[in-house]
Each structure stands twice: as structure tokens, then as C-alpha cells.
């Protein structure tokens, strides 16, 4: 099929490359010349495992090209909208201006039979509005809503072999077109839910709200554990054995961040309020509040170590991205804590295998070093805040030889407390004795 993907960020660049990998003829369009230049040279503009390989092979096969010019979509019959829907400045609601601009740019190039497919995460009710605009344009094109569930760090495999496909459609022909697009995954038995626009839009925000709630639930248990001296990691293991609960997404720590969960739960709550149903998801405000308290907890623990002031203390921050296997620092708990400690007068020395460039763009005031050993040298306190393998596998003994003072706050609860303590470290976990 001839496919266009409008918006080539973390979602769109992977989607475009994966569609081409499956044999479709794809053009990706973005307004960011830097991204288009990189992608056109088959170089991913961000770090995502597996993307370099499929981008290179699809580009070489001639199935994949990129353009800054929206008219490049004219040949395609399926047009995915994958632009950003960030949090609006000064409000909890999603900023829909990029989606609106993408559709405006697309409209003059639509032909009868074309299908516009929404992938961006949007407030429920958006698809109907966009469908009305397309209908009024008289182009003869129509709309489907096909939310995306990929995780950064696993984006390629999640796109090629998704857990499920959700189609929000108004007619069978949209379903047939999407079935053709996703023929490979469907042939492997991927479940497919065909529904209306509103359900498709809600599935996406409900999934992210559930995941965020699960994380904040375990972090709430961590808060209680801290008071009574219980161990939240054992608690998670124990309740996780119940298959109705499950162990996944029960890792207590510094909390969730990224370009999705935080802004999606806020946008969902804001949309529910607009719909007069704010109380139905009022708990999401608690989910958000619990999450943000975990960042404060790490700051408080650091302050406690130095009698209430971190001024002049050298703090090694291991990790800047919101999760490992990504260079994404959007709403990253790790970066947030580093910036706040710097603001409190600490001498923060931060490191990350992939996130330094993005972190430096946003917060040039921090000191960044490439090697963990350099960050650790002379440290008065160590914070492990993103669970990259190389930090999980740090040796307590060799790390101890580098630092000034053997105190570590394990913001992801990934180190073996016993080993660190037996190497003369003061080990502080979150919700662990
Ligand atoms: N990142 C993820 O893991 C993920 C997963 C599922 C869903 N989503 C959703 O997908 C959407 C995109 O997220 P993202 O993380 O890829 O964001 P992103 O910021 O990485 O990418 C968005 C891209 O859209 C481009 N853009 C903006 N306006 C444009 C226009 N008018 N025409 C063409 N390009 C335009 C931007 O330049 C940018 O490259 C969001 O709604 C997000 O919630 C993201
Ligand atoms: O037990 C856990 C699991 C995750 N996290 C944190 O939660 C955040 C989000 O993690 P994850 O969901 O793996 O990352 P994303 O790539 O943001 O993916 C989420 O957001 C995407 C965008 O909407 C969705 O497509 C995915 O399905 C959804 O998992 C990260 O900061 C993690 O560190 C925890 O603190 N504890």
C-alpha cells in the first residue's frame, strides 16, 4: 500500500520505518528539517533499539523516503497522523494545535477513497471533529482512529508485533484498508478490536491511566512501607503472584515520567471535567500527586543526609532519561530531581548512556560527564535514578573506591541492598528497609 506518516518523532519515525519494513511504500513528513535530513540519510534522529536497522534496510530498498513538503503525501492512500499532543502550557489539557495543523496541511492533497488514520493520543471526541472536517472538505476521504501502544525502548517490536490492534471506524471499507496495512500482524494472530471512534480514543487513555495507576498504587504502598519498615519490593512480589494482579508495572521507585503517562493522565482528567464527569477519574489527580511525591522523597532523603542542606555537596546522578533504552528526557523523574538538587545548591554531576544531549538542551546549568566513573569520583552522595544495566551492575566495591562518601539512594530499587551494605555503603531504597 502507499502510506504517508505525518509527524516523524518517537512514534512516527518508527511507524514509517516499520510500515516500509513490511513492504508498504512509505513517505514520512515532518516540519522539522533536522529530523528530515537525518531520516533521509537513514540516521535515526533519536535513540531507539532496532530502529537503525529497519530504517537503513527500508531506505535502501527504496520503500521509504522522507520530506518536509506535505505535498509528498499526494500519492499515498493511507495517511497516518503521528504528530505530538503535548500538555498545553499552563493547563492540564492536551495541546491539539499540531493535530489540527497536520490535518489542515493534509486536506488539499486528499482524494476520494483516501483514509486518514489518527495515531496520536487525543482527548475523546477529537476523531468525530476531524471526521466532520474531512467530510466538509468534499475530498471524498474518510477517517479512522487507530491508537498506538508502543513503548519506547521496544518501539520496533511493539509496532511489528503489537499486543492488539484497535480500529475506531465508521464503515467496513476503513476496516478493510487497515486490515491490508496490518496484514502481517493479523496473519500472526494479533487480536483486533473494531469499534467506534470514541471507544478507540478512550482505549488508549484508559490503558495509560491504568498503567499509571498501577505504578502509583505500588508507590503509595512504598510510602506506607517507609513508615512501618516494610519492604515494598517483597510486597510487590507477593501480590504479583496473584495472576489477577500480575507483577508487571509494580516496580516502586522514583515514579513514572516520559512523553506519555504524565501528560496523558492529566489530559484525560481535564477532558473528563469538560464532559462533566471529572469525578469519574478524580483519582488520576491522586495518581499524579503520588507520582510527584516520589521525586520529592528522593530530594528529602538527600537533604537529610546532610542535615537539611545540600549546598556544595557533590551529588553523582546516574541516569537522566525517563527509562532505560531511550534518550527521551521528557518529564523525566531523574532529570527533574537532578535539576531540583542543583537549584538547592548541590554540585550535581550527571551521567547517562544516551540522554545527555537532550538533557543538556533543556538544562545546560547541570554538569554532564560521559563516564559513570567520572560522575562517581569524589561524590558525597550517589543517586541511581534510571535503571540502565550498567548502573544496575555497578560493583559496590569499585564504586566505593571512587566516592568520597559511601551513601547511595537507589531510586529504582534495583540494587542488592545486602551486597552494598556489606561493602560499607549506606544503602537507601525507596520503600525498602
Ligand atoms: N512516544 C511514544 O512512545 C508514543 C506511543 C504511543 C502514542 N504516542 C502519541 O503519539 C503522538 C506523537 O508522540 P511522539 O512521542 O512521537 O512525539 P514527538 O514530539 O517525538 O514527535 C512529534 C513530531 O511531529 C512533528 N510535527 C508537529 N507538527 C507537525 C505538522 N504539522 N506536520 C508534520 N509534522 C509535525 C514534530 O516536528 C515531531 O517530530 C503523541 O500524541 C503521543 O502521545 C507516543
Ligand atoms: O513498574 C514500573 C513500570 C514503569 N515505571 C515508569 O513508568 C514510566 C513509563 O514506562 P513505560 O510505560 O514502559 O514507557 P513508555 O514508553 O512511556 O510507554 C507508555 O506510554 C506509551 C505512550 O502512550 C504507551 O504507548 C505505552 O503502552 C505505555 O507503556 C517510566 O518512567 C518507567 O520508569 C515505573 O516507575 N514502575
Domain ranges, ordered by start, for the chain: 2-195, 212-429
Q: Please state the atom number of ligand 1 nearest to the C-alpha of residue 148.
A: 6
- Please state, in angstroms and as integers, the Cα–Cα distance from residue 156 to each residue in 35, 52, 54, 102, 160, following that order: 18, 10, 9, 24, 6
In tens digits, the chain (433 residues) has pLDDT values of 999 999 999 999 999 999 999 999 999 999 999 999 999 999 999 999 999 999 999 999 999 999 999 999 999 999 999 999 999 999 999 999 999 999 999 999 999 999 999 999 999 999 999 999 999 999 999 999 999 999 999 999 999 999 999 999 999 999 999 999 999 999 999 999 999 999 999 999 999 999 999 999 999 999 999 999 999 999 999 999 999 999 999 999 999 999 999 999 999 999 999 999 999 999 999 999 999 999 999 999 999 999 999 999 999 999 999 999 999 999 999 999 999 999 999 999 999 999 999 999 999 999 999 999 999 999 999 999 999 999 999 999 999 999 999 999 999 999 999 999 999 999 999 999 9
Q: Which are the contacts of 27, defined by CB distance < 8 A and separation ≥ 6?
A: 3, 4, 5, 16, 64, 65, 66, 67, 72, 73, 75, 76
DSSP label of 145: E
Per-residue cell: 42: 537513514
| Longest pairwise C-alpha distance within the chain | 73
pLDDT of residue 146: 98
pLDDT of residue 229: 97
Q: Is 297 annotated as a binding residue?
A: no
Check for a shared fold between 2-195 and 212-429: yes
Per-residue cell: 43: 540516521
pLDDT of residue 223: 98
To the query of whether residue 8 is one of the catalytic residues in this protein, the response is no
Residues 347 and 313 sit within 8 Å (Cβ to Cβ): yes
Mutation test of ligand 1: which of 83, 121, 331 has the most ligand atoms closer than 8 Å to its C-beta?
83
Per-residue cell: 215: 505504578
Per-residue cell: 211: 498503567
Q: List, in sequence order, every residue forming a beta bridge with 6; answer none if it has no partner.
A: 29, 81
Nearest residue (CA) to ligand 2, atom 27: 149
Q: Spot the catalytic one: 8, 260, 302, 341.
A: 260
What lines the ligand 2 site, CB under 6 Å? 121, 148-152, 208, 211, 215, 249-251, 253, 255-258, 260-261, 264, 322-323
Ligand 1 center–CA 388 separation, angstroms: 25
Closest by Cα among 212, 255, 258, 218 to 234: 218
DSSP label of 72: G
Per-residue cell: 31: 516540519
Torsion over CA of 26, 28, 29 and 32, rounded to 10 degrees? Answer: -160
Burial 372-391 (b: 16+ CB within 10 A, else e): beebbbebbbbbbbbbbeeb
Mutation test of ligand 2: which of 7, 207, 256 has the most ligand atoms closer than 8 Å to its C-beta?
256
Ligand 1 center–CA 82 separation, angstroms: 5
Ligand 2 center–CA 121 separation, angstroms: 15
Task: Say whether pTM exceeds 0.90.
Answer: yes
Closest by Cα among 258, 248, 212 to 10: 258
> For the domain bounded by 212-429, which CATH number is listed?
3.40.50.720
Report d(CA 269, CA 403) in Å as an integer: 44
pLDDT of residue 118: 98
Q: Which CATH superfamily is domain 2-195 in?
A: NAD(P)-binding Rossmann-like Domain (3.40.50.720)
The interface pTM score, or ipTM, of the predicted complex is 0.99
Amino acid at each position: 500500500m502507499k502510506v504517508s506518516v505525518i509527524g516523524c518523532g518517537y512514534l512516527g519515525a518508527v511507524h514509517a520505518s516499520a510500515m516500509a519494513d513490511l513492504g508498504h511504500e512509505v513517505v514520512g513528513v515532518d516540519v522539522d528539517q533536522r529530523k528530515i535530513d537525518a531520516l533521509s540519510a537513514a540516521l535515526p534522529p533519536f535513540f531507539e533499539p532496532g530502529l537503525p536497522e529497519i530504517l537503513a534496510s527500508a531506505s535502501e530498498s527504496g520503500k521509504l523516503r522522507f520530506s518536509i513538503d506535505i505535498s509528498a503525501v499526494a500519492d499515498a492512500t493511507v495517511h497516518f497522523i503521528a504528530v505530538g499532543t503535548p500538555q498545553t502550557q499552563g493547563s492540564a489539557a492536551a495541546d491539539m494545535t499540531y493535530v489540527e495543523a497536520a490535518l489542515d496541511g493534509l486536506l488539499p492533497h486528499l482524494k476520494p477513497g483516501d483514509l486518514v488514520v489518527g495515531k496520536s493520543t487525543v482527548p475523546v471526541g477529537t476523531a468525530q471533529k476531524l471526521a466532520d472536517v474531512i467530510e466538509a472538505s468534499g475530498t471524498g476521504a474518510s477517517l479512522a482512529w487507530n491508537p498506538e501502544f508502543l513503548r519506547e525502548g521496544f518501539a520496533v517490536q511493539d509496532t511489528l508485533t503489537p499486543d492488539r490492534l484497535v480500529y475506531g471506524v465508521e464503515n467496513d471499507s476503513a476496516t478493510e484498508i487497515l486490515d491490508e496495512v496490518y496484514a502481517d500482524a493479523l496473519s500472526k494472530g494479533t487480536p483486533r478490536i473494531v469499534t467506534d471512534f470514541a471507544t478507540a480514543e478512550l482505549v488508549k487513555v484508559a490503558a495509560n491511566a491504568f498503567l499509571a495507576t498501577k505504578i502509583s498504587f505500588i508507590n503509595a504502598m512504598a510510602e506506607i512501607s517507609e513508615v512501618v519498615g516494610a519492604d515494598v519490593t517483597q510486597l510487590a512480589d507477593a501480590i504479583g503472584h496473584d495472576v489477577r494482579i500480575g507483577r508487571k508495572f509494580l516496580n516502586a521507585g522514583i515514579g513514572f515520567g516520559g512523553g506519555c503517562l504524565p501528560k496523558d493522565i492529566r489530559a484525560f482528567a481535564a477532558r473528563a471535567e469538560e464532559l462533566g464527569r471529572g469525578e469519574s477519574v478524580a483519582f488520576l489527580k491522586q495518581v499524579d500527586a503520588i507520582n510527584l511525591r516520589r521525586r520529592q522523597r528522593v530530594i528529602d532523603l538527600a537533604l537529610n543526609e546532610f542535615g537539611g542542606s545540600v549546598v556544595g555537596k557533590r551529588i553523582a546522578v546516574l541516569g537522566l532519561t525517563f527509562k532505560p533504552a531511550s534518550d527521551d528526557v521528557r518529564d523525566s523523574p531523574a532529570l527533574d530531581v537532578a535539576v531540583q538538587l542543583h537549584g538547592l545548591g548541590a554540585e550535581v554531576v550527571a551521567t547517562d548512556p544516551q540522554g545527555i544531549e537532550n538533557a543538556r538542551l533543556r538544562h545546560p546549568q547541570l554538569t554532564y560527564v560521559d563516564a559513570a566513573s567520572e560522575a562517581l569520583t569524589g561524590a558525597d552522595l550517589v543517586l541511581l535514578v534510571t535503571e540502565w544495566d550498567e548502573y544496575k551492575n555497578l560493583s559496590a566495591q569499585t564504586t566505593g573506591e571512587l566516592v568520597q562518601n559511601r551513601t547511595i539512594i537507589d531510586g529504582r530499587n534495583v540494587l542488592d541492598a545486602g551486597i552494598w551494605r556489606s561493602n560499607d555503603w549506606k544503602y537507601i531504597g525507596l520503600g525498602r528497609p
